[in-house]
Amino acid sequence: MPSWWFQLLSWRSLQVENGRSIRKTAFILQGQEESARPDLIERVSFRTKAVTEVKKSGYGKHISGGIRMDTSGLPQSTESYWLQAREKTGFPPLKEDIYADTAVIGGGLAGMMSAYELSRRGRDVVVLEARTLFEGTSGKTTAKLSSQHGLHYAKMLKMHGRKKARLYFEAQEEAIAAVERLAEAGASCDFERKEACIYAETYEGKRELEKEARAYHALGIPGIYEEVDSPSERVKAKLRLPDQAQFHPVRLMNWLAAEIEKNGGRLYEQTRVVKTKEGEAVRIDTESGAVVTADNCITASHIPFQDTAGMYFSRLEPERSYSIAVEADPSQVQQMLLGIDGEKVSLRTAWVDGREMILVGGQSHKPGTVASTETCYEALARYAYRELGASRIHWRWSAQDFTSLDDVPYIGRLTRWHKHTYTACGFKKWGMTGGIAAAFLLADLIEGRENRMKPVFDPARSSGPAAAGRLAKKLSGDGGWMFRSHLPDTPLTEELPEPGSGAVVRSGAGLAAVYRREDGGINSLSGACSHLYCGVTWNEAEKSWDCPCHGSRFNVEGEVLEGPAVKPLAKMKLDDGK
């Protein structure tokens, strides 16, 4: 078995760069066999060459002179670039009762990979997608395949111990390797091995990176910690993880869909599931009235909609984030980068419209809590112009993610009392590796096979007092908004919105979510979310109604865009002549 060890190499010699004295320190985390230890000096010397590249990596660099701050060049559309690669759409809606060995609810990466893996094993599989395949978060991701999930392992090591934290890392690594195998088997998805890197811009952030580096050492994760101890340097420290990857998610899911069909699986779009009930088999009711009877059911719909089973809406925290694809020198971004402080920007390269561009992501917030979501895109645009010297923004889009109370996904039986209903959710923005890992675990659970990852992701696991405190804070915040949003004296606009805009107005004793169409007509809906009746707010950039409590979202017609809601916003007639 490998013996993992930690080597600290530090030097305090002063180097002069651009007229400034800089002290640099590097921690090298390296995995080796016991018998290979004589190679220590040679390998560490090779690794430390990268320390002198701190200023050449592109991030943290200021572009002097001619900075473009105008953000009027943002594209009008907010559709994801990835979705342009969909090869087949228009799968039929389910119109009749059917039977399947396993029904998968949700057509994102977790659902598609689960369906593929089960169909590959000879199972009769049906996929039920409420809207269109791939158009959820899996089609709006930054598409990083990485085991480096921000500041994750120090926290997980403390909360769950070394064994589970190490298994979590192994699950992510196995997921990356699985996508690589699929790419070699014919899934043309632009798979490319890349180094991942998280970086800090403050001394407080540097201390957090040091903690994470120590956790890497304890878990045998082959990371490389580097720091630049100079007040004049923007990036204070970074933690690198070699041999990670990036890819094109929709191209992979195109391939998965084709393989599922080849294996006899069936795919349905515009088929919203509204209820499941478990007996000897699982009864799955759809909005149209068609019923699916299945021996097993996987809920991979981003967040489980079965409110009374597991209360997942109270255990998952929703968050929205934004991405833009910019035309800039791609050599500035040699790694997949993620800031842990400062502007907390995510960076990677991608081939977009025949050019290698830089994807810039960030500006995360809870749904429904930002007054003008256009400002989130504008902030990313300013960053791209200022830091990357961007000349044009080609695409922009946003996504929604859910995070569990302990930052570890829930993958397994829906509750401990369910025997045939499973879930995969709460990936904390890392659903590309998490969704792949979920597919292998769920397939094994359905087939009764042992899987060492089961206790790591078990939805019924105990997460300790920290998670309990987080739950209490979430419930207090959600309840507070639910109460305040319906108070008679809650400040609301008295004016109807301009064409193309929306606003929540008071209509009689209730709230009305009012959208004025470009033709001047009015769409008037209930301002109370159809899930648990929290007041919704207007999302300017995406033209949607968002619920700050549990993350449900609706379009201007009231149709569900994001769960846990399964019912549309009710139509509402305005009172008082509005």
In this prediction, residue 477 has a pLDDT band, given cuts at 50, 70 and 90, of: low
Q: What residues form DSSP beta bridges with 228?
A: 24
pLDDT (0 to 100) of residue 310: 87
CA angle 70, 76, 79 (to 5 degrees): 125
Contact by Cβ (8 Å): 486, 475: no
- Assigned fold of 98-191+242-323+394-462: FAD/NAD(P)-binding domain (3.50.50)
pLDDT (0 to 100) of residue 363: 97
pLDDT (0 to 100) of residue 116: 99
> Does residue 146 have a pLDDT over 80?
yes
pLDDT (0 to 100) of residue 419: 97
Which residue's structure tokens are 């890497």?
A: 216
Contact by Cβ (8 Å): 304, 164: no
pLDDT (0 to 100) of residue 574: 77
**How far is CA 407 from each of CA 316, 403, 410, 468, rounded to the nearest angstrom?**
9, 6, 9, 13
Measured CA to CA, the distance from residue 200 to residue 215 in angstroms comes to: 17
Domains 98-191+242-323+394-462 and 466-578 share a fold: no
- pLDDT, tens digit (0-9, with 9 covering 90-100), for 73-92: 899 999 999 999 999 778 99
- pLDDT, tens digit (0-9, with 9 covering 90-100), for 262-313: 999 999 999 999 999 999 999 999 999 999 999 999 999 999 999 788 889 9
CATH code for the structural domain at 466-578:
2.102.10.10
Prior bond to 564 cis, omega within 30?
A: yes
Structure tokens, 165: 């934290």
Contact by Cβ (8 Å): 413, 282: no
**How far is CA 362 from each of CA 237, 323, 343, 404, rounded to the nearest angstrom?**
20, 7, 8, 20
pLDDT > 70: percent of the chain:
81
**CB-facing half-sphere around the CA of 408: CA atoms within 13 A:** 31
- Give the SS3 label for residue 275: strand
User: Taking the domains of the chain in order of start, what are their residue ranges?
Assistant: 98-191+242-323+394-462, 466-578
Measured CA to CA, the distance from residue 206 to residue 505 in angstroms comes to: 46
In this prediction, residue 509 has a pLDDT band, given cuts at 50, 70 and 90, of: low
> Does residue 64 have a pLDDT over 90?
no
In this prediction, residue 30 has a pLDDT band, given cuts at 50, 70 and 90, of: very low
